[in-house]
Amino acid sequence: MVSRERFVVHLPVAADDLVAAQGLARAITRALGFLSDVDRGGTTVSREDAQSVRHWVFCDRPLTPGRRCTRPADHHDDCTPHPTTPPTRHPR
């Protein structure tokens, strides 16, 4: 199998504050959940003028084999696992 390179896609957005920007990033990554090439757990947010200071969006803590936490990065409750493959989408 040929190893594929990883890239970071920078997508500027407007938000009221960091928390709102993280919420928008969560919504964007969940909307792209059907794409297997998107590493949702690696999502970070930074201010435009401080791009080297990144803030994690998801906890992404490894849990049982093949599962990771989908909660926000700084959650205080128990981690919530999800399968590594996106859920099956059912027609409406």
Residue 78 belongs to some domain of the structure: yes
Rounded CA separation 37/29 (Å): 11
Domain membership flag for residue 2: no
Tokens of 64: 């049982």
Residue 38's pLDDT band (boundaries 50, 70, 90)? confident
Identify the pLDDT of residue 40: 84
Map residue 30 onto helix, strand or coil: helix
What pLDDT shows up at residue 88? 42
The pLDDT score that the predictor gives to residue 87 is 44
More confident residue, 73 or 90: 73
Q: Please provide the average confidence, as pLDDT, over all residues in the chain.
A: 84
- Is 49 contained in some domain? yes
Per the structure, the complete domain to which residue 73 belongs is given by 18-83
User: The whole model's pTM is what?
Assistant: 0.74
